[in-house]
Amino acid sequence: MTALEDRTEAPAPEVGKARKRKEDARLITGRTTWTDNMVLPGMLHLAVVRSPVAHAKITSVDVSAAADAPGVVAVFTGRDFAEEQGSIPCAWPVTPDMVNPGHPSLAVEEVNHVGEAVAVIVARSKAAAQDAVELVDVDYDPLPVVLDMEEAVAEQPDLCHDHLSSNESFRFVFDAGEAGTGQNTDEAFANAEVVVSRRFVQQRLIPAFMEPRAAVVQPQGDNYTMWSSTQVPHILRLMLAMITGTPEHKLRVIAPDVGGGFGGKLQVTPEEVITLLVARRLGKPVKWTETRSESLMSAHHGRDQIQYVDVAADREGNIKGLKVHILSDMGAYLRLVSPGVPVLGAFMYPGIYKFPAYRFDCQGVFTNKTPTDAYRGAGRPEATFAIERIMDELAVELGMDPLELRRKNWIKAEEFPFTTVAGLEYDSGDYDAATQQALELLGYDELREEQRRRRESDDPVQLGIGFSTFTEMCGLAPSRVLGSLSYGAGGWEHASIRMLPTGKVEVVTGSTPHGQGHETAWSQLVADELGVPFEDVEVLHGDTGISSRGLDTYGSRSLVVGGAAVVSASQKVVAKARKVAAHLLEAGEDDLQFESGSFSVRGTPGTSISIQEIALATFAAHNFPEGMEPSIDADATFDPVNFSFPHGTHICAMEVDTETGFVKIRKYACVDDVGKIVNPLIVEGQVHGGLAQGIAQALYEEAIYDADGNLTTGTFVDYLVPSAADLPHFDTGNTVHEAPGNPIGAKGVGEAGCIASTPAVVNAALDAVRHLGVTDIRMPLTPERVWRAIHSGGDGGDRATAGSNAYGGAQTETTAGVSTEASSLGGDR
């Protein structure tokens, strides 16, 4: 106990401070623990033999030459593991009759996409393993290849899986009229004065995290420890146990430093299963690390939807109804949450607008391509793109200003909480305030004036301004809601606080970071709750042996759900410490006040005891309250009752060179409302990163397959992840409307920039050239596409000229990059 010193000002709260990150120390000095850094005594190395064909029966596999190669210890095929490999799990059966063809980690009878694993080499060195890949001789009996979604669901299509009766996995329908959350959609359209219909193509994207995936498994007796570059060590452990029959309590999964994920490492991968099975079979530590080419062709892809969107309105611009039909490409198999991605989007198509009627109809379609699954935003970017694009088209049809049309129909600040036509209860916000601030950040009036000047002078470089006034649902998620959507798990998150004898604090979180800065932000939360110095807090994560309960990091859930659990656990620690303080200060609990980390007796200056001193007293336990166990540690599990709904206004000003088709972002301004901001530095960084990926979808990135199902954008030469020179400066701002659904008031920020930016960019480009007769340009807006849209009409067609290397193939109506014989020189064979 210490005498109370002259009380000075309480320290400023940690929450809200732009703390520089604790994580950085190891990352900027190269003292990192990436999975591929791991070296264990006797470790063997894996290399995966992958299918070069998109659809075929495997008629024979001859591994003899590979098995005899120098340094090769073993070679396994799908047959060797057929009895124990199970199927890669799909945790989200979105309809009761969803068709899941099953997904062996190593192909046994057939292959269904290029890059599918068919055999694995185990060797003394990585080089020896890779050398032997070439020596495995697989005979394939080719089958027809299904690539085009519209053809795949047409009459008499070729089949992606020849043992199934169609290429449709599921049909998910949400009808607001039937759900009782809106009016009859057909009637709304029948009575409408104006109907605008569009078909939008969400091209296939690749998450392209910078750290290639890797897994290491160390067997110790009947225990197995896996290190994996995963976003989801807890889910991975559970699923590996269920798939391979290795008991859950004999498995420990560790996600050490993980180099980005963006949803791409929200997966239970074939390679992780194979690594575990090989280690189990051989009883030796093994390591698998992919090459970038392997990563681009075999790690799951994202987006890839065709959207048919109809909007109904009256002539004054009052919206009356929304109909959305989408084809969503699952690829060849269902992975962890593949079907859930479009279903997450289902509830976001109405955006921030007060539609009285809404119908959503989604077909999940199999094609002989790499499976799709979560990629930053997962369903919500697709929904936001569709609604924000169609609102612009409706504005054009009505001759209205696009912002005026939005303003006329969006939810007003005083209307929150607002239940939408999709049945979601939006928590808080002010769309007008965010928009006003964004207009000022952009310098809107000046740019509109410049646009007018350029138009009048017929300047070859035209200027356009595009809006995206968006919202999204974050904080996945209320467990009961996930249950009602047939998701296979809950959405809670867990935390523990351990008070060490020296007063230092260990925080265990079930949310596993891979760049988001949990160690810093969680320290800020705990420092405020416990009144301990920021530096005295250590955050532990990503190891199922340390963090026994958790549901990991995705869906902008970490702070909103995981952070809330940390706060709740901290409050329990304080409650326990209060009992000890009352005992030691010989006062009633109700007479104590807790301030800046110390308990003191109200109205009795002179004595106090800090929570850090109580930690030591608890360790000693010499003088403890009667009947109380000697611990002030606490656990908490937080399960939100609702999602949180960040929103914002993004405005892009775009220059389009009408002579070359080159587009250049002149200025980008956005104001996001992500609720309470714990660390402005991290929030700004998350927005920047999201913007980069959303803009990249609009302008650069596209995964293209040729007519045989080969990925022709299989390296960073062809798959255009933007560099610093390709992206503009971002002007960002915030409004703050706290989320009522969690004790922090945060709404989630990880996906906001990625969800919002894509339609703002495309709308801006169209605004620049609409007076030239252009009504749509397909993403990404390559110079050639933009040029063709201006000079030849249409949506710009395919990405490049037939026969050129950048071209994946010829134009079909539906899928960019399906080649014909005429273009078979194109692409990367």
Partner 1 sequence: MTRISVRVDGASYQDDVEPRTLLVHYLREQLGKVGTVVGCDTSNCGACTVHLDGEAVKSCTVLAVQADGAEVTTIEGVSRGGELHPVQKAFHEMHGLQCGFCTPGMIMASIDLLQDNPDPSDDEVREGIEGNLCRCTGYQNIVRAVQLAAGEMRGAPASDGHVAPAVVDTAAAPHVVGQA
In the set 8, 9, 30, 96, which binds partner 1 (CB under 8 A)?
30
Least separation in angstroms between residue 158's CB and partner 1 is: 33
Counting contacts by CB under 8 A, is residue 267 touching partner 1? no
Least separation in angstroms between residue 23's CB and partner 1 is: 7
Cα–Cα distance between 582 and 589 in angstroms, integer?
Answer: 5
In the set 514, 666, 788, 799, which binds partner 1 (CB under 8 A)?
514
Cα–Cα distance between 220 and 225 in angstroms, integer?
Answer: 8
In the set 691, 699, 789, 816, which binds partner 1 (CB under 8 A)?
691
Residue among 26 and 57 whose Cβ is closer to partner 1: 26
Window of 190-198, 327-335, 471-479, 679-687 that interacts with partner 1 by CB under 8 A: 679-687
In the set 170, 174, 262, 444, which binds partner 1 (CB under 8 A)?
262
Least separation in angstroms between residue 209's CB and partner 1 is: 6
Counting contacts by CB under 8 A, is residue 3 touching partner 1? no
Least separation in angstroms between residue 15's CB and partner 1 is: 8
Q: Which amino acid is at 647?
A: H
Least separation in angstroms between residue 294's CB and partner 1 is: 9
3 state SS of 769 = helix
Counting contacts by CB under 8 A, is residue 27 touching partner 1? yes
Q: Could you give the residue ranges of the DSSP H alpha helices within 228-323? A: 233-244, 270-282, 292-298
In the set 123, 196, 565, 692, which binds partner 1 (CB under 8 A)?
692
In the set 10, 82, 154, 210, which binds partner 1 (CB under 8 A)?
210
Distances (CA, A) of 772 to 418, 460, 461, 767, 789: 40, 12, 12, 10, 10
Least separation in angstroms between residue 737's CB and partner 1 is: 13
Residue among 429 and 478 whose Cβ is closer to partner 1: 429
Read off the DSSP letter of residue 18. Answer: -
Counting contacts by CB under 8 A, is residue 212 touching partner 1? yes
Query: Residues with Cβ < 8 Å from 615, sequence gap 6 or more?
Result: 499, 500, 501, 502, 503, 577, 632
Counting contacts by CB under 8 A, is residue 633 touching partner 1? no
Cα–Cα distance between 803 and 824 in angstroms, integer?
Answer: 7
Counting contacts by CB under 8 A, is residue 9 touching partner 1? no
Residue among 286 and 411 whose Cβ is closer to partner 1: 286
Backbone angles phi, psi at 240, to 5 degrees: -60, -40
Counting contacts by CB under 8 A, is residue 480 touching partner 1? no
Strand partners, 321: 312
Residue among 681 and 806 whose Cβ is closer to partner 1: 681
Least separation in angstroms between residue 640's CB and partner 1 is: 22
In the set 175, 382, 672, 684, which binds partner 1 (CB under 8 A)?
684
Read off the DSSP letter of residue 408. Answer: H
Counting contacts by CB under 8 A, is residue 677 touching partner 1? yes
Least separation in angstroms between residue 504's CB and partner 1 is: 15
Window of 27-35, 364-372, 432-440, 611-619 that interacts with partner 1 by CB under 8 A: 27-35
Counting contacts by CB under 8 A, is residue 613 touching partner 1? no
Counting contacts by CB under 8 A, is residue 655 touching partner 1? no
Q: Is 709 exposed, middle or buried (0-12, 13-18, 19+ CB in 10 A)?
A: buried
3 state SS of 668 = strand
Counting contacts by CB under 8 A, is residue 216 touching partner 1? no
Counting contacts by CB under 8 A, is residue 499 touching partner 1? no
Cα–Cα distance between 50 and 113 in angstroms, integer?
Answer: 10
Least separation in angstroms between residue 761's CB and partner 1 is: 14
Token representation of residue 501 = 């004898």
In the set 140, 172, 174, 209, which binds partner 1 (CB under 8 A)?
209
Residue among 524 and 544 whose Cβ is closer to partner 1: 524
Residue among 533 and 803 whose Cβ is closer to partner 1: 533
Residue among 177 and 256 whose Cβ is closer to partner 1: 256
Q: Could you give the residue ranges of the DSSP H alpha helices within 49-125? A: 64-68, 78-81
Residue where the block lists tokens 């030591």: 616
Cα–Cα distance between 269 and 281 in angstroms, integer?
Answer: 19
Cα–Cα distance between 288 and 123 in angstroms, integer?
Answer: 11
Query: Crossing angle for the helix pair 518-530 and 564-585, nearest 10 degrees?
Result: 30
Counting contacts by CB under 8 A, is residue 483 touching partner 1? no
Total of chain residues touching partner 1, rule CB under 8 A: 70
Residue among 370 and 735 whose Cβ is closer to partner 1: 735
3 state SS of 713 = coil
Residue where the block lists tokens 């952009």: 442
Backbone angles phi, psi at 218, to 5 degrees: -115, 115
Q: Which of 658, 727, 663 is nearest to 694 (CA)?
A: 727
Element (H, E) at 689: helix 680-699
In the set 250, 549, 572, 688, which binds partner 1 (CB under 8 A)?
688
Counting contacts by CB under 8 A, is residue 697 touching partner 1? no
Counting contacts by CB under 8 A, is residue 375 touching partner 1? no
Euclidean distance between the first and the last CA atom of the chain, given in angstroms as a whole number: 75
Counting contacts by CB under 8 A, is residue 554 touching partner 1? no
Cα–Cα distance between 425 and 728 in angstroms, integer?
Answer: 35
Residue where the block lists tokens 């932000």: 521
Least separation in angstroms between residue 683's CB and partner 1 is: 9
Q: Which of 174, 196, 177 is nearest to 185 (CA)?
A: 177
Interface positions, 189-208, toward partner 1 (CB under 8 A): 208
Counting contacts by CB under 8 A, is residue 791 touching partner 1? no
Query: Residues with Cβ < 8 Å from 113, sequence gap 6 or more?
Result: 51, 54, 55, 331, 332, 333, 368, 369, 370, 371, 709
In the set 515, 597, 796, 797, which binds partner 1 (CB under 8 A)?
515
Is 580 within 8 Å of 634 (Cβ atoms)? Answer: no
Least separation in angstroms between residue 750's CB and partner 1 is: 10
CA 62 and chain centroid, separation: 40
3 state SS of 707 = coil
Window of 297-305, 365-373, 419-427, 713-721 that interacts with partner 1 by CB under 8 A: 713-721
Token representation of residue 177 = 């009229």
Interface positions, 122-181, toward partner 1 (CB under 8 A): 126-127
Residue 84 CB coordination number (10 Å)? 15
In the set 219, 356, 517, 741, which binds partner 1 (CB under 8 A)?
517
Least separation in angstroms between residue 696's CB and partner 1 is: 9
Token representation of residue 215 = 């897994």
CA 120 and chain centroid, separation: 30
Read off the DSSP letter of residue 231. Answer: S
Q: Which of 180, 196, 227 is nearest to 423 (CA)?
A: 180
Interface positions, 563-582, toward partner 1 (CB under 8 A): none
Cα–Cα distance between 116 and 9 in angstroms, integer?
Answer: 63
Counting contacts by CB under 8 A, is residue 700 touching partner 1? no
x-or-dash string of contact with partner 1, 289-328, rule CB under 8 A: --xxx-----------------------------------
Counting contacts by CB under 8 A, is residue 729 touching partner 1? yes
Least separation in angstroms between residue 295's CB and partner 1 is: 9
Q: Is 181 exposed, middle or buried (0-12, 13-18, 19+ CB in 10 A)?
A: middle
Read off the DSSP letter of residue 778. Answer: P
Counting contacts by CB under 8 A, is residue 211 touching partner 1? yes
Query: Residues with Cβ < 8 Å from 616, sequence gap 6 or more?
Result: 501, 502, 503
Window of 338-346, 456-464, 699-707, 727-735 that interacts with partner 1 by CB under 8 A: 727-735
Contacting residues toward partner 1, per CB under 8 A = 16-32, 34, 36-37, 39, 126-127, 208-212, 257-260, 262, 291-293, 514-517, 520, 534-535, 676-677, 680-682, 684-686, 688-693, 715-717, 721, 723-727, 729-730, 736, 753
